Amino acid sequence: MNNYPYLIKAKAKANEAKSLFCWFTAKSDSRAERKILDILEDAEINVGRGASHQLPIRTNWLIVDDLPEEGVLDDTWCDRYELGGEDGLTWQKIVAPSAAEPQPSSKPENDISPANSNEEDYSNNEEALFNLAEMSFRTQLLAQYMADERHVYHISIPHRNRLSAMEMDTDNHGVQNLLLTAENIPELKKYDMPGLWKFTSTFKSVFPAGKRHELGKQIQFAKLWLETSHIDRGILTKEWAAGNYITSINKTDTGANAGGGNKTDRNPDYQHSLDTLDIEIALATMPMDFDIYNFPASVHRRAKEIVQKKESPFKEWSAALRSTPGILDYSRAAIFALIREASSGITPFPDRLRGYINANLTEHKHDTPSAEMLAKAGHIPSAAVTLDAINQAIAGEDSSAKLETLSSDFKAVGTELVKEAQKQRPNANQVLAAERGEYVEGISDPTDPKWVTEDLPKSRQPEVSKIGDGVFSIDGLVDVTGKVNQKEKTDEVVHQTDAIDIESSPHNKEEDQPIDYVHVMVDLETMGKKHNAPIVAIGAVVFDPATGSIGESFYKVVCLESSVNWGAVIDPSTVIWWLKQSSEARSEIVNDDAIPLLDALLQFREFVSDNVAGGSKKAQVWGNGASFDNSILRSSYDCIAEDYPWEYWNDRDVRTMVELGQAISFDPKTTIPFEGSRHNALADAIHQARYVSAIWQRIIAGNHVLQKLMQN
């Protein structure tokens, strides 16, 4: 049998509740967990969300004379003991802090220092100050955290009690994250009061109170702050506060700040340093033009060789640029343009080269170089070269030479597209047959009158026409006109062929639909196909499938790094798939508006709560696939430990609706025109809502026809 002590903390908001202590023996951990809950239930004490006490916390065992009886909830234990130690789970007796000894130079006028002073005598005295250095580390840290203008050496007993309440308040995410961050950095406990105050002040400026921040980022910043020299901590803080999460302060060869904290035209995941700058300088000294953002592998290898051998003029440019303050702040296009526009005879003269750099290294927007700058840099977009090669292949010309100048990924995609283009070209026999006047499919015009051999009635093709915002006519899709029966009843029509107006359709009367029956169409863009895939964009729209009306929309781009930090796993095959998509689709998931996963999920839950009548209890969430959107979204909420904004029984599947439509030979998915960019989460969600509504209305219309036929 093992001893199991438990602490049941009272929440800070529960003024009348007190923290409880209980211990007992049990055979196993699982039995102990059940037993403590039974004890609390018998005492009619509720724990968890919405209750006055938190869930029980198992602590380390302590043997003392005043230990309460086994299985009894003691509400006076926490008046005598408190948790502490390295793990924060060891009980320690609360000792009244001794008053600070009088100091001639720094003693406050109201400092209390009798040797036998009783803490209870000063429990309500804000004027009596005690030495902070003799209190626990967490109390010291929180005291400096709450100090605004300067550090403090002494605090009162009421002030210490308020700090203890903050420490125990698990709903205060800012304070809890600060304490967890400090516990992960043992070196911080060696700091004196001014040092702790500087740390907490910096911590508050980078991670403002009132907002939820990722604990991993906070720990990363705290470690970097401690590792950075004092003179460079201001730069580190400034960059992190601006959202530039640099990992070190780059220095030039002369010791100046090399920059590198701002956004440039390089890939956001690219770690730019003086070493990578050397590669760019070597690339710029090469005579040929190429895509400076996707340079060929052979060119890259040659650039590395130039750097290794320190060939001229690379070594002169490298020595000059590596000593230029803020050089890492400039775009790749600016570096290329600077080097390629210089005269060949300037590099042997360091003073002239320095003057040229100071006069010409200018740039307005580091992240979006101008077209003139790109032209000076000799930039040739890989996409344009690939398209030109495909057009040459269609025209029957050899375009393999063009593809050789591309990077490996563009070269692979371009080669496949060229092969497909060559397959579509007609062979010589087909061309000669068409020139002789014979009909050749794919070359001859089938609408030419000479190929029409009989007068056949043209069948009407299914079509959907747009009437207005959110209103579509499905006159060409719903063909249910005909006789009511076979007894020459020509005076009745089963179904009119007027356009279906989403506001006036007879089967869409307001009294037929529940007021709280609201649907939400969701589309996710991810970097994986499994339930733990990282989300990079969330699009959603509220809609009514019975009328086809589209309501409020939601769209957020999610920071990929944030999703991975929460435990999501990237699928390489999905990343390759994204690389093959259009630049518009890729730009939607890597723009500057990306927000952390936690913020996006909390905002989506607010969107559902604000726009769905009945909130999460009534929301019916549609996803494109039974195991994709809804499953990934629910898994992401599990990662951040937040409640889902819908119930599991309200999952709805788009693909099932499409299959039902195909079963009755009705497929509006490809007929309804797509508006916006494909693989944009919001545009996809709106398109899915529209064709689901069309199928829904078709099924309802067919049901009305069947009912009328049965009545007659």
Backbone angles phi, psi at 423, to 5 degrees: -65, -30
Distance CA 614, CA 625 (A): 25
Backbone angles phi, psi at 541, to 5 degrees: -150, 140
pLDDT band at 305 (very low <50, low <70, confident <90, very high): very high
Mean pLDDT score across all residues of the chain: 79
* Residue of 426, 423, 406 lying closest to 414 (CA atoms): 406
- Residue range 217-263, pLDDT digits in tens: 899 999 988 888 887 788 888 888 888 777 777 777 777 777 776 78
- Residue range 346-384, pLDDT digits in tens: 888 989 999 999 898 888 788 888 888 888 888 877 766
Distance CA 565, CA 588 (A): 21
Average pLDDT, integer, range 479-486: 41
User: Is residue 312 predicted with pLDDT exceeding 80?
Assistant: yes
- Residue range 523-542, pLDDT digits in tens: 998 888 888 889 989 999 99
Distance CA 111, CA 513 (A): 73
pLDDT band at 62 (very low <50, low <70, confident <90, very high): confident
Residue with the bigger pLDDT between 524 and 13: it is 524
250, 259 Cβ separation under 8 angstroms: yes
pLDDT band at 6 (very low <50, low <70, confident <90, very high): very high
Return the residue matching tokens 């699982």. 30
Q: How much is the pTM? A: 0.36
540, 607 Cβ separation under 8 angstroms: yes
| Single-letter amino acid code for the residue at 428 | A
Stated length of the chain: 712
- Residue range 44-60, pLDDT digits in tens: 888 887 788 888 999 98
35, 26 Cβ separation under 8 angstroms: yes
Which tokens go with 246? 């640099």
| Single-letter amino acid code for the residue at 166 | M
Model pLDDT, residue 394: 65
Model pLDDT, residue 481: 42
pLDDT band at 89 (very low <50, low <70, confident <90, very high): confident
Which residues are 129's β-sheet partners? Answer: 111
Which tokens go with 135? 């209190």
User: Is residue 549 predicted with pLDDT exceeding 70?
Assistant: yes
Model pLDDT, residue 404: 65
Model pLDDT, residue 406: 64
Contacts of 46 (CB under 8 A, 6+ apart): 40, 52, 53
- Residue range 605-617, pLDDT digits in tens: 988 888 888 888 8
Query: CA gyration radius for the chain?
Result: 36
Provide the CA 276 distance to its chain's centre, in angstroms.
28
* Residue of 466, 522, 480 lying closest to 706 (CA atoms): 480
Instruction: Give 451's DSSP letter.
Output: G
User: Is residue 509 predicted with pLDDT exceeding 70?
Assistant: no
Instruction: Give 74's DSSP letter.
Output: B
Q: Which of 112-116, 340-344, 430-434, 689-693 has the lowest mean pLDDT?
A: 112-116
81, 68 Cβ separation under 8 angstroms: no
User: Is residue 9 predicted with pLDDT exceeding 80?
Assistant: yes
The answer as to CATH 3.30.420.10 being correct for domain 510-701 is yes
Beta pairing class for 620-623 and 651-653:
parallel
686, 676 Cβ separation under 8 angstroms: yes
130, 157 Cβ separation under 8 angstroms: yes
Calculate helix-pair angle for 137-146, 173-183, nearest 10 degrees. Answer: 130
CA quadruple 130, 135, 139, 144: dihedral, nearest 10 = 60
622, 543 Cβ separation under 8 angstroms: no
168, 109 Cβ separation under 8 angstroms: no
User: Is residue 396 predicted with pLDDT exceeding 80?
Assistant: no
Calculate helix-pair angle for 382-394, 408-424, nearest 10 degrees. Answer: 20
H or E element that contains 84? strand 81-84
270, 332 Cβ separation under 8 angstroms: no
Residue with the bigger pLDDT between 674 and 505: it is 674
307, 282 Cβ separation under 8 angstroms: yes
Model pLDDT, residue 433: 66
Domain ranges of the chain: 2-93, 129-241, 253-376, 382-424, 426-456, 510-701
| Single-letter amino acid code for the residue at 640 | I
Which residues are 465's β-sheet partners? Answer: 473
pLDDT band at 459 (very low <50, low <70, confident <90, very high): very low
Distance CA 474, CA 200 (A): 63
Long-range contacts of 305-314 (CB under 8 A, 24+ apart): 306/282, 307/278, 307/279, 307/282, 312/347, 313/285, 313/344, 313/347, 314/278, 314/281, 314/282, 314/285
Model pLDDT, residue 326: 83
Backbone angles phi, psi at 267, to 5 degrees: -60, 135
* Residue of 465, 538, 584 lying closest to 685 (CA atoms): 538
pLDDT band at 587 (very low <50, low <70, confident <90, very high): low
Cα-based distances in Å from 469 to 363, 476, 682:
44, 19, 16
Residue with the bigger pLDDT between 84 and 284: it is 284
